[in-house]
Structure 1
Amino acid sequence: MIIDDLTVPIVLAPMAGGPSTPELTGAVAEAGGLGLLAAGYLSATDLAARIAATRAATGRPFGVNLFVPGPATPAADFADYLAELARDHPVGDAKHDTDDWAAKLDLLVADPVAVVSFTFGCPTAEEIARLRAVGSETWVTVTSPAEARIAVERGADVLVAQGAEAGGHRATFVDRPADDATDPLSVLALLQLLTAATDKPVVATGGITTGAGIAAALAAGAAAAQLGTAFLRCPEAGTNPVHRAALTADTPTMLTRAFTGRRARGLRNRFMVEHSANAPVAYPEIHYATAPLRAEARTAGNPENVNLWAGQTHTLAPELPAGELVRTLAAETKTALKAALSRRIQDC
């Protein structure tokens, strides 16, 4: 298992749409962690170029994350929402695609990487077998024990337990309006449930930004911790300047479908407040529809109309080079674990 060979139990979360870069992935790998390169929104050709650039940045193992495609949403389901947006914003073509799924799988079979992780669902047993046959481990991101059972049954090597605290999109296999009435599991709750139900390695992710947070996940049974928001301010990250600046403010986060048609956690802003109530379940259609207004906001430096994905502990994200951040977190993790062990537990 790749996870057993890491110098430090830190995994760089894949952050599609800009923050994920070959430089960031390579820097985390060079520091002893595992870097995951986001393939979401990229063509297979662009992904191939980024894999090559990552290999040029590091000789250590790294991984690639894919979005598992879902079914198209009928246009009637989101027509009213598009009309709502069009009153005040430019709206793009609300199209559906598979995010070049088949071509990316073919690429990763022809040009294998150490790990292929998945978000928004679980590939078929046959697809997992194809990747394992060329030496790639398969990691499936889950948000519930039910999803974990599916991933294990299909042959996943590692489960990535995404808690409700996580920034960016919820990794749920199916995004349902009915699920909004149920509190999503925190990373600690999910981690305990999964480690009790399976002997598969579990990587914890969601709201983990410090060494103490990593230590807590390890103590609860995680094989490693996956961090995303913690790396958004690193110079190697491709984080947009508007997003980068907003992370330092003590702004609360919230879950919304307003920007993409799929629930995601970001810094609360005017667009989210005004449009979340009517936002439909329609991904990636709404993602494409809001692309022009988000691009306009970034160009204008306007944080109120752009998705500022971030986890609940975003104010703790430091501005450090990625390698230095990994080393700092590793040292903090050791200190936190030693401090926990030094505390006396009285006999009952």
Structure 2
Amino acid sequence: MSARHPALARAEAFAASYGLRRPLLLAPMAGACPPALSVAVMREGGLGACGALLMQPAAILAWADAVREAGPFQINLWIPDPAPARDPAREAGLRAFLGRFGPAMPPDAGDGAPPDFAAQCEALIEARPRIVSSIMGLYPPAFVARLKERGIAWWATVTTVAEALAAQEAGADAVVAQGAEAGGHRGAFEAAKAETGAVGLMALLPAVVDAVKVPVVAAGGIADARGAAAALLLGASAVQIGTGFLRCPEAGIPPAWADGLGRARPEDTRLTRAFSGRTGRSLATAYVAAAAGPDAPAPAPYPIQRGLTQAMREAAVKEGDLARMQAWAGQAAGLAQAVPAGEVVGGIWEGIGALLR
């Protein structure tokens, strides 16, 4: 019998260290990680995930209880930015612009705030996931120490080599190298650099692997066995897949969004701040194009822009209108399959084995 390919052996050892049978991880997508999707991935030996950005502590605990018996999982939080400056005149212009796409909004539409971060962190401690992950920065040292005291691993999402080194220095047990191909929000530590520092995974991954001593998880633009095997060959210890699971029935996203993903070519996505104020990759819909037009006002910072667009986004979902929908999508969206999540995990794993014999 021939020996296991070194890349495959490394990935299997990393997976086993976290109680997984397969080094295939569901990305923690805020608003698109219902328990059913994680459970389906976990039952096939992968890692479940929750993007808890918008969840109150009680909801975080309820999510963890709903998936716990299926296996290991991670819960992810954004590291908060400083409170943004408000500009009433600018917001009024944005409300007028957005009124072309959705219901009229009151002057206080941008007043909403995310859940209390400190309370969310307490919920993570109580929920006891195998892994707590971060995006948009690094957890405070005192919280990292509490995680380590309880045997909870910390994975830090990074988008540059400099961020990876900072995460390792801060005590991260692994780093998730997020390439610019990834759907949804870019994890740059500094919001202003999310577009100018958009490095593709093929360049980012080997550079991060060479720079750090901790294991590296690959994320961004991976939706089939070819991409997963390539990431392992470039030094990743596991792969994290987001958009590749969104067409699965367990994800429960609006049908118009799921259909749009299936039709998308890589060039049919683009980076935009038009939904939340933070840079993310979306399908290049009519609203996204209009928001990038020369007559469009610049988006407000996060979370003000998110509040301003809430009515439009909700109306788009209710009406099944992809043109105005917040339809996050990675550049490999067209590879996503409309099959049960377990089949996606099994198919990718079998394909990796065939490619790395």
Q: Report the CA distance between 1:325 and its aligned residue.
A: 1.3
Q: Which runs of 4+ in 1 moved over 6 A?
A: none
* 1:283-314 per-position Cα deviation (integer Å, ceiling 9, x unaligned): 11111210110111111111111111011011
Tell me which residue corresponds to 2:78: 67
Check 1:235–1:88 CA distance in 2 against 1; reply closer, same or farther (3 A cut): closer
Any conservation in 2 of the 1:261–1:279 contact (CA below 8 Å)? Answer: no
In the alignment, does 2:169 pair up with 1:158? no
Aligned-partner residue type, residue 192 of structure 1 = P
Tell me which residue corresponds to 1:305: 324
TM-score w.r.t. length of structure 2:
0.88
- The structure 2 residue matched to 1:250, chosen from 260, 264, 271, is 264
Aligned-partner residue type, residue 68 of structure 1 = I
- The structure 1 residue matched to 2:343, chosen from 313, 319, 324, is 324
TM-score w.r.t. length of structure 1:
0.91
Tell me which residue corresponds to 1:237: 251
Check 1:169–1:291 CA distance in 2 against 1; reply closer, same or farther (3 A cut): same
Q: Report the CA distance between 1:242 and its aligned residue.
A: 2.2
| Structure 2 CA distance for aligned equivalents of residues 211 and 88 of structure 1 | 39
- The structure 2 residue matched to 1:102, chosen from 104, 110, 118, is 118
Aligned-partner residue type, residue 301 of structure 2 = A
- The structure 2 residue matched to 1:133, chosen from 149, 152, 173, is 149
Q: Report the CA distance between 1:87 and its aligned residue.
A: 5.1
| Structure 2 CA distance for aligned equivalents of residues 36 and 85 of structure 1 | 33
Between the two proteins, what is the percent identity of the paired residues? Answer: 39
Tell me which residue corresponds to 2:15: 3
Q: Report the CA distance between 1:281 and its aligned residue.
A: 5.3
* 1:147-206 per-position Cα deviation (integer Å, ceiling 9, x unaligned): 112211211111000000000000111211x664x3511112111111111111000000
Tell me which residue corresponds to 1:344: none
Any conservation in 1 of the 2:101–2:324 contact (CA below 8 Å)? Answer: no
Aligned-partner residue type, residue 161 of structure 1 = A
Any conservation in 1 of the 2:75–2:132 contact (CA below 8 Å)? Answer: yes
* 1:74-121 per-position Cα deviation (integer Å, ceiling 9, x unaligned): 111842333422355333621353433111211222231100011121
Note the aligned Cα RMSD (angstroms).
Answer: 1.8
Any conservation in 2 of the 1:69–1:120 contact (CA below 8 Å)? Answer: yes
| Structure 1 CA distance for aligned equivalents of residues 194 and 346 of structure 2 | 38
Aligned-partner residue type, residue 110 of structure 1 = E
* 1:187-242 per-position Cα deviation (integer Å, ceiling 9, x unaligned): 12111111111111000000001101100000000000000011001111131222
Tell me which residue corresponds to 1:225: 239
Unaligned runs of 5+ in 1: 339-348
* 1:255-280 per-position Cα deviation (integer Å, ceiling 9, x unaligned): 00011101110110111011135333
Tell me which residue corresponds to 1:46: 59
Tell me which residue corresponds to 1:86: 99
Deviates more, 1:274-283 or 1:46-55: 274-283
